[in-house]
Structure 1
Amino acid sequence: MNIGSQIAWDDTVLPFQLDRSDIRGRVARLDGVLDQVLAQHDYPPVIEALVAEAAMLTALIGQTIDLRWKLSLQIRGRGPARLIATDYFGPKATGQQAQIRAYASYDGERLDESADPFSQIGDGFFAILIDQGKGTQPYQGITPIAGGSLSACAESYFAQSEQLPTRFSLSFGRSTLPGQPESWRAGGVMLQSMPKASPFAASEEGSGEGGLLEPTDILDGDDEDNWNRANILLDSVEDMELIGPTVQPTELLVRLFHEEAPRVFDPQIVKFGCTCSEDKVRQTLSIYSAKDIEKMTTEDDRVTADCQFCGAHYDLDPKTVGFEAKSDGEE
Structure 2
Amino acid sequence: MSLSAKIAWDDTVLPFQLDASDIRGRVARLDGVLEQVLSQHDYPPMIEGMVAEMALLTAMIGQSMKTRWKLSLQVRGDGPVRLIATDYYSPSEDGAPASVRAYASYDKENIDLNADAFSQIGKGYFAILIDQGQDMTPYQGVTPISGASLSACAETYFAQSEQLPTRFSLTFGQSQIPGEGTHWRAGGVMLQHMPKASPFAKGEGGSGEDGLLEATDILNDDETENWTRANALLDTVEEIELIGPSVTPTDLLLRLFHEEQPRVFDAQPVQFGCTCSDDRVRQSLSIYSAKDIGTMTTEEGTVTADCQFCGAHYVFDPATLGFEAKDDGA
* 1:151 alignment counterpart: 151
Contact (CA 8 Å) 2:67, 2:132: kept in 1 or not? no
For 1:15, give the aligned amino acid: P
Deviations 1:116-138, CA, capped at 9 Å, x for gaps: 11011011100000001100110
Contact 1:54 1:86 in 2 (8 A): yes
Q: Are positions 1:200 and 2:178 aligned together?
A: no
Q: Is the 8 A contact 2:26 2:64 kept in 1?
A: no
TM-score (norm 1): 0.97
Instruction: Give the percent of matched residue pairs that are identical in Structure 1 and Structure 2.
Output: 71
1:53 is aligned to 2:53: yes
Q: What is the one-letter code of the residue matched to 1:200?
A: A
Query: TM-score when scaled to structure 2?
Result: 0.97
For residues 178-189 of structure 1, the aligned pairs below 5 Å read: 178-189=178-189
Q: CA RMSD in A?
A: 1.2
Contact 1:88 1:99 in 2 (8 A): yes
Q: AA paired with 1:148?
A: A
Give 1:272 shift.
0.3
**Which residue in the other structure is 1:174 paired with?**
174
Matched, 1:312 2:298: no
How far is 1:328 from its partner?
A: 7.2
Name the counterpart of 1:324: 324
> Equivalent residues in 2 for 1:60-209 (5 A)?
60-66=60-66, 68-196=68-196, 197-200=198-201, 204-209=204-209
Secondary structure, aligned partner of 1:167: strand
Q: Is contact 1:65–1:90 with CA below 8 Å preserved after alignment?
A: no
Number of positions where the alignment pairs a residue of Structure 1 with one of Structure 2: 328
Per-residue displacement from partner, 1:215-245 (whole Å, max 9, x unpaired)?
1111112111100000000000000000001
Q: Deviations over 1:295-314 (max 9, x none)?
A: 11111111110000000000
Q: Structure 1: give runs of 5+ residues left out of the alignment.
A: none
Once the two structures are TM-superposed, the CA of residue 2 in structure 1 deviates from its matched residue by: 1.2
**Partner residue, 2:214:** 214
Which SS does the other structure have where 1:115 is aligned?
Answer: coil
Question: Equivalents in 1 of 2:25, 2:287: separation in Å?
Answer: 43
SS at match of 2:110: coil
Partner letter of residue 54 of structure 2?
A
Secondary structure class of the residue paired with 1:172: strand
The separation in 1 between residues aligned to 2:65 and 2:155, in whole angstroms, is 17
How far did residue 177 of structure 1 move? 1.2
Inter-partner Cα distance in structure 2 for 1:327 and 1:307:
23
The answer to whether the 8 A contact 1:68-1:93 is kept is no
Paired with 1:262 and 1:6, the residues of 2 have a C-alpha distance of: 20
The separation in 2 between residues aligned to 1:169 and 1:31, in whole angstroms, is 17
Which deviates more from structure 2 when the two are superposed, residues 77-86 or residues 318-327?
A: 318-327
Higher mean C-alpha displacement, 173-182 vs 61-70: 61-70
CA distance in 2, matches of 1:327, 1:94: 39
What secondary structure, in the 3-state scheme, does the structure 2 residue paired with 1:188 have? Answer: strand
Amino acid aligned to 1:140: Q
Task: Give the equivalent residue in structure 2 for 1:301.
Answer: 301
Per-residue deviation, residues 268-307 of structure 1 (Å, max 9, x unmatched):
0000000000000111111111111111111111111000
Q: How far apart in 2 are the matches of 1:327 and 1:250?
A: 56
Alpha-carbon separation, structure 2, partners of 1:239 and 1:223: 28
Q: Is the 8 A contact 1:146 1:209 kept in 2?
A: yes
4+ residue stretches of structure 1 with deviation over 4 A? none
